[in-house]
Structure 1
Amino acid sequence: MKKQPCSRSCFVCGRQNDIGLKMTWYEDHEAQQIRATVTVPEHFNGYPGIVHGGILATILDETSGRAVMLKGGPDMLMVTMKLEMTYRRPTPTNTPLTSIGWVVKQSQSRAQVAGEIRLPDGTVTAECQAIVVRPPREIVERWEAEKSHWHVYDDE
């Protein structure tokens, strides 16, 4: 599977963000999905032993949004306009989780995307539906300086 690029400072993927999750996504073109594995540390809990819902929303926001890169590459990145979360069951900290994202429908300017988080046994603990859109010019211009740091990193 092809690995997607990451940035320096993003909370979810940034390699130089000391408090970030440092996630890496892989493209499964056969399934038309992207996948990442992450173990959320206890300090991101909402209740002891349970991942905070905001952290789960963050993971799914990034994962589902990155699914648009399956067809358009990094230049297709969009920003979230709407995110709807459904929490199916508590998600444990310190447990390997799989985050999966896919495109439901896509055009050049917007996409409907979805995602889910699974436990090692395949149980879905959280899922999302989102609408992502091409960002305004001022955001795209701010990304320009960061593009040279946006690349595929070696496995850690």
Structure 2
Amino acid sequence: MAKTPHKVARKQYNSKLCFICGLQNNSGLKASFYETEAGELIATFYPTEEHQSYPGRLHGGIASAILDETIGRAILIGSEEDIWGVTTELTLRYLKPVPLDRQVRVIARITSQNRRFFEGTGEIVLENGEVAVTASGKYLKAKIDSVDFDTEVNQWKVVPEPSDPEVIEL
């Protein structure tokens, strides 16, 4: 299956202890999020045995969590940087198992929005380009300061890594 290159425009923030993006959460995914020039968001992470259901396979709940986070963060692209998505509805379809111990890539985009809500879709894409899990969700737009989140305490910042890609192929 032919892969499509996605040029990275910007890396998004990580935090200290979030299960998905927390860099100091030893059980977490430590996912990185990259905005593309096409206005999509791509997450990358390496699941380990701690993240499995059946041996060698990513737990479906964790697949749901990374898709939820990636779609919800897609609203941060562009002019919505002070808005967080609060999930009100999430629907998933599991198509193929997601293997452990190799990079997992998730892509998401906003499909519609109004003043109070936005909707989006996303997919977990395997190394060979096949889609393993799809999701669609609806989110309430919440101002970051209404979520009671201290950006200093939670170390909410961009953490550059030498391995940050300029292009991600899906």
Aligned partner of 2:6 in structure 1 is none
Query: RMSD over aligned Cα, in angstroms?
Result: 1.8
Aligned partner of 1:26 in structure 2 is 34
Cα separation, 2, equivalents of 1:89 and 1:32:
26
The counterpart of 1:61, out of the listed 36, 61, 68, is 68
Determine what percentage of the aligned residue pairs are the same residue.
33
Change (3 A) 1:87 1:141: closer
Cα separation, 1, equivalents of 2:15 and 2:114:
25
TM-score (norm 1): 0.90
Aligned partner of 2:120 in structure 1 is 113
Cα separation, 2, equivalents of 1:42 and 1:97:
14
State the secondary structure of the residue aligned to 1:104: strand
Higher relative contact order (CA 8 A, sep 6+): 2
Tell me, which stretches of 5 or more residues in structure 2 are unaligned?
1-8, 163-170
1:73 to partner: Cα distance: 4.2
For 1:125, give the aligned amino acid. A
TM-score (norm 2): 0.83
Moved more, 83-92 or 72-81: 72-81
Tell me if 1:132 matches 2:158.
no
Question: Comparing both structures, which one devotes a greater share of its residues to helix?
Answer: 1
Cα separation, 1, equivalents of 2:129 and 2:101:
16
Cα separation, 1, equivalents of 2:48 and 2:114:
36
